[in-house]
């Protein structure tokens, strides 16, 4: 027989969860950290690509955005290409593995000593293993959070400059990221916890948009039939962008230009068949 103070196990779990979230928030506020969800963030910063040949992928994007490549000081080989204030990291080096975007990163203002991870866990966000484990959405797509001002890590050094030629484009920084998700409503609820209420929904194509600081955006689209959920592609802001000129530059460099629904962007395909969008910087 239960006494008057008895609380069902499911309610007890919820109470512990709420108290944990409140405790973490109070701790963070006392130390000057962000202390609550949605995140106090500065927007999208970098993207991790897993590719069969890291050096070849870096050289491809290097001629487009920045011929001065960067790499990890110690093995395994990992290369970096700057996108203005952002960058792409290339890892993997498995010749038989397909290429994909394995994570994206948001910089958090007030990040400190794992407190963001604790906030995620208290909000029911699944986290990867280890101290650097990333937040995972309902499809297992991974979000990394790092502190401002961001940038390349201290373990990264200049690599070979691939050319004395200027890059095809002057990148300003990331503009948007498109996720293809298996359940649009569940994913919207997940990212609403992290970034706050969505800004807009479009019907053609169906997409939910979250506006992030730094003039960056996160877009969620439902997967196509037979397609797996993925971090599908990114858009990059370009200085002095002109659509016709951009297409000509890419074709002269023997980069494949592919059709995009939005006439304000230029979409191209890389050596691994992945696509990227270019658009005017704001």
Q: Which of 20, 88, 95 is nearest to 235 (CA)?
A: 88
Most confident of 9-23, 24-38, 51-65: 51-65
Residue 86, pLDDT > 60, answer yes
CATH number of the domain residue 183 falls in = 3.10.180.10
* Banded pLDDT at 132 (limits 50, 70, 90): confident
Among residues 136, 161, 186, the one where a domain terminates is 161
What stretches of the chain show up as alpha helix (H) in DSSP?
Answer: 9-30, 54-65, 115-122, 184-195, 243-252
Percentage of residues of the chain with pLDDT beyond 90:
76
Residue 87, pLDDT > 90, answer yes
State residue 159 phi and psi, 5-degree precision.
-105, -160
Taking CA atoms, 70 is separated from 15, 75, 198, in Å, by 48, 13, 35
Lowest-confidence region among 17-21, 72-76, 108-112: 17-21
Do 55 and 157 belong together in one domain?
yes
Residue 31, pLDDT > 70, answer no
Do 151 and 199 belong together in one domain?
no
Taking CA atoms, 115 is separated from 39, 119, 145, in Å, by 12, 6, 11
- How many independent structural domains does the chain possess? 2
Mean pLDDT within 78-85: 97
The model's pLDDT over 219-241, given as tens digits with 9 standing for 90+, comes to: 999 999 999 999 999 999 999 99
Note whether residue 29 is domain-resident: no
Residue 22, pLDDT > 60, answer no
Domain that holds residue 101: 41-161
Residue 151, pLDDT > 60, answer yes
């Amino acid at each position: 027989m239960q006494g008057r103070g008895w609380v069902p196990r499911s309610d007890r779990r919820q109470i512990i969860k709420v108290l944990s979230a409140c405790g973490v928030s109070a701790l963070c506020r006392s130390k000057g950290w962000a202390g609550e969800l949605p995140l106090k963030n500065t927007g999208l910063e970098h993207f991790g690509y897993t590719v069969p040949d890291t050096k070849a992928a870096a050289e491809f994007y290097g001629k487009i955005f920045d011929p001065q490549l960067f790499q990890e000081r110690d093995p395994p080989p990992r290369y970096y290409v700057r996108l203005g204030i952002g960058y792409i990291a290339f890892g993997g080096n498995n010749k038989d593995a397909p290429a994909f975007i394995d994570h994206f990163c948001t910089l958090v203002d007030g990040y400190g000593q794992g407190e963001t991870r604790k906030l995620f866990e208290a909000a029911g966000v699944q986290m990867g293993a280890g101290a650097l484990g990333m937040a995972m959405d309902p499809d297992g797509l991974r979000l990394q959070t790092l502190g401002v001002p961001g940038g390349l890590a201290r373990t990264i050094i200049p690599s070979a400059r691939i050319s004395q030629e200027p890059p095809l484009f002057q990148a300003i920084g990331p503009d948007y990221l498109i996720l293809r998700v298996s359940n649009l409503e569940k994913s919207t609820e997940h990212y609403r916890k992290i970034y706050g209420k969505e800004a807009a929904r479009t019907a053609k194509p169906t997409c939910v948009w979250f506006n992030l600081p730094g003039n960056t955006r996160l877009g969620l689209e439902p997967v196509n039939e037979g397609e797996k959920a993925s971090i599908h592609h990114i858009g990059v802001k370009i200085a002095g962008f002109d659509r016709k000129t951009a297409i000509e530059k890419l074709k002269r460099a023997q980069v494949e230009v592919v059709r995009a629904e939005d006439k304000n962007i230029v979409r191209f395909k890389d050596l691994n068949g992945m696509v990227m969008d270019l658009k005017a910087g704001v």
